[in-house]
Structure 1
Amino acid sequence: MNLVPPAELFSHTCIDYADADYKAPNFVQRLFSLFRNVRPGSDLTNFQLPPQFNIPKSQLQFFGESAYLFGKDFLHQCNNAGSALERFISVVAWSISTTRAPAFGVAPYNPVLGETHHVSRGSLNVLLEQVSHHPPVSALHATDEKENIEFIWCQHPVPKFHGTRVEVEVLGKRQLKLLNHGETYMMKSPKLNVKFLPPRIDWIGDVNICCQETGLEAELCYVTSSLFGCRGLHSVKGKIYQSSSMKTLYEVEGHWNSTVKVKDINNGKETVIYDAKEVFSELKTPVVETLQRIWPTESAAVWSEVNSSILSKNWSKARDEKSSVEDNQRKLAKERNSKGETWVPKLFTVSYSKEDDWECSPIQERVPPAPIVVPI
């Protein structure tokens, strides 16, 4: 197993999520050149970017960062709030904190089948596996023994090209369990909207968050601007209500890249529940604590040579190394097909239905501490 030096494994982890738009007209022209032979409405799931358009990181790592890379610990707040309503509001804030956008014009690598990512932050242990390649599906399991919290996510991105933009529908179930309170919160993800003109990345669409045990529910709407306007850019609006009576308790309004407030319907009092600066300030780069414990399937190991080449801007070698990783995946798939074998995930059981889409269940009850840690 070859790894780049530990200090370089996560050199591009801490990007500025609060202001991730990258504006460069020449970059837009290069992007258009990539898509000139792609028809509007086409599924880009299998579309491969040249390494010049990649950041040295796998999409599996990027997905995992929304669980373990943060400045403010919303999970502690979710678990220790005094009432069910306060916990629900904290869960809404936590859900907003996971909607992060990459820099414009660049993207992580598409994970290979069986790729894993294992990171710890304090008592929070996070483990991911790429459970399907066609279509791409990532599973995430995280447990915090100190807080007695568990969350399980399943992510199936479906990117489609629409002429001047790419829209990524993010399918799959997400659940957060506050085990001390016997509460499970179900939620989904908004869509990622990448506009070429003007260059911009935003989240759009509706998100429902519900807790069956408390009967509380939230409806959030992520809104972007029109072609020439900017009023709705990065905005999120919605309400928190009691599902049995449909009575609205709080109105939600703000911007996911700055602040979000809730307004108490009874007294009109407004409270800031989310501040992006708190979440994304003073982010700590993960470090390798035990190199020998890193699995060969770890993202940093799978892509180590590609990462090293991109960091040194050796684009010819980066292209060759990336092709090598992808060719090896095709070779393994061909060998399985010739033997009539079906690949089975090692860490999750996976099910699919047209109504519920992908659902991933972890095999282990608890995630063990990882060899890669985020300093606190």
Structure 2
Amino acid sequence: MMEGISLLTLTNKGKPGVGEKYILNQPNIYVRGILFGAMKYELGDYVYVRCPENNLVAEIEFRVKGFFTGTYNAIHGTIKNEKTGEKLYEITGKWNEDMYIKDELTGRSELLFDATNAKPTLPLVRPIAEQNDKESQNLWAPTIRALLKKDQDTATDEKIKVEEKQRSDTRKREADGIEWVPQLFKPTDEFGLDYIIHANVDGKDPETLEKQVLAITPILPGSHSTGKFEIPPHQSHPNEHTHIAGTTEPDTSAKGAET
């Protein structure tokens, strides 16, 4: 589903002003039945969630169903003391139904999460009309519409259009001597990450954090772009080569920024 790792910080836990950090990766998604039978999606492979502050690590296997044995959506994992290797808890069940956690010391097992009856919190998303042409929902809308209609040929054609447009944009940038850099992220080596958000997000309370995050780029319905990430027009005969370097805060004059 997603490559690399993510860093989650709980600001209401751990040391004041520092919080409690969790480093995690994501399961892979597999599609079965492409050539024959009913199409089925599965999550598979190993996932970890590490908390350096508490010396804890959860290692969870998303088990895919075998051809003749097994079941769909099963998980199995453990929570360990990463420093000593001591197994503290065992996790079992199905990620889309009930998941249980067992205390290895007492042997007691209890419900950890009931996915069947849990009510998801739906994200607030800006309407397509408010999104720029490179935001995912807008960019891939024709492809998604075709997939929902089970029109694989049109979906493939629309996907190719997106890819060809991006290749064309790359050639134009190279012709203008414009070096592409990410809009919203900057390189980092913190916790083994490749990139972090390209903004100063250090609020010590939820209200300040919310304001800082919402100031990065339009997120909620009704919010609009400031234009600071717009890509400059193609220059037919560039006179000089331009290197676009990242800054702590996105620069309104930066060229070549792309989502």
Q: Please indicate, yes or no, whether the TM-score normalized by the shorter chain is above 0.5.
A: yes
1 or 2, which has the higher helix percentage? Answer: 1
The Cα of 1:288 is off from its aligned counterpart by 3.8
Q: Quote the Cα distance in structure 1 between the aligned partners of 2:40 and 2:144.
A: 26
Decide whether the 8 Å contact of 1:262 with 1:270 is kept in 2: yes
Which contiguous aligned blocks of 4+ residues in structure 1 show a shift greater than 4 angstroms? 281-287, 289-292, 304-323
Aligned to 2:70: 230
- Work out which of the residue numbers 221, 224, 227 in structure 2 matches 1:372: 221
Decide whether the 8 Å contact of 1:174 with 1:187 is kept in 2: yes
- Work out which of the residue numbers 103, 109, 117 in structure 2 matches 1:264: 103
- Work out which of the residue numbers 174, 178, 185 in structure 1 matches 2:22: 185
The Cα of 1:360 is off from its aligned counterpart by 1.8
Aligned to 2:7: 175
Structure whose CA Rg is larger: 2
The Cα of 1:210 is off from its aligned counterpart by 1.2
Could you give the per-residue CA deviations for residues 208-232 of structure 1, whole angstroms, max 9, x where no partner exists? 211111111111122222211134x
Decide whether the 8 Å contact of 2:22 with 2:51 is kept in 1: yes
Task: Give the TM-score taking structure 1 as reference length.
Answer: 0.45
Q: Quote the Cα distance in structure 1 between the aligned partners of 2:142 and 2:42.
A: 31
Aligned length: 198
Which amino acid letter does the alignment assign opposite residue 185 of structure 1? Y
The Cα of 1:296 is off from its aligned counterpart by 3.5
Does residue 360 of the first structure (1) align with residue 195 of the second (2)? yes
Aligned to 2:238: none
Q: Quote the Cα distance in structure 2 between the aligned partners of 1:266 and 1:201.
A: 36
The Cα of 1:186 is off from its aligned counterpart by 0.8
The Cα of 1:189 is off from its aligned counterpart by 1.8
Task: Give the TM-score taking structure 2 as reference length.
Answer: 0.62
Q: Quote the Cα distance in structure 2 between the aligned partners of 1:277 and 1:195.
A: 23
Q: Quote the Cα distance in structure 2 between the aligned partners of 1:316 and 1:241.
A: 48
Higher relative contact order (CA 8 A, sep 6+): 1
Taking every aligned residue pair, what percent have the same amino acid on both sides?
A: 26
The Cα of 1:183 is off from its aligned counterpart by 0.8
Which amino acid letter does the alignment assign opposite residue 371 of structure 1? L
Aligned to 1:202: 42
Change in 2 beyond 3 A, CA 1:223/1:283: same
Aligned to 1:338: 175
Structure 2 residue runs of 5 or longer lacking an equivalent are: 14-18, 202-211, 223-259
The Cα of 1:200 is off from its aligned counterpart by 3.5
Structure 1 residue runs of 5 or longer lacking an equivalent are: 1-62, 64-154, 157-171
Change in 2 beyond 3 A, CA 1:240/1:311: closer
Decide whether the 8 Å contact of 1:291 with 1:371 is kept in 2: no
SS at match of 2:53: coil
Which amino acid letter does the alignment assign opposite residue 110 of structure 2? T
Could you give the per-residue CA deviations for residues 68-115 of structure 1, whole angstroms, max 9, x where no partner exists? xxxxxxxxxxxxxxxxxxxxxxxxxxxxxxxxxxxxxxxxxxxxxxxx
Does residue 302 of the first structure (1) align with residue 142 of the second (2)? no
Which amino acid letter does the alignment assign opposite residue 5 of structure 2? K
Aligned to 1:82: none
Decide whether the 8 Å contact of 1:289 with 1:371 is kept in 2: no
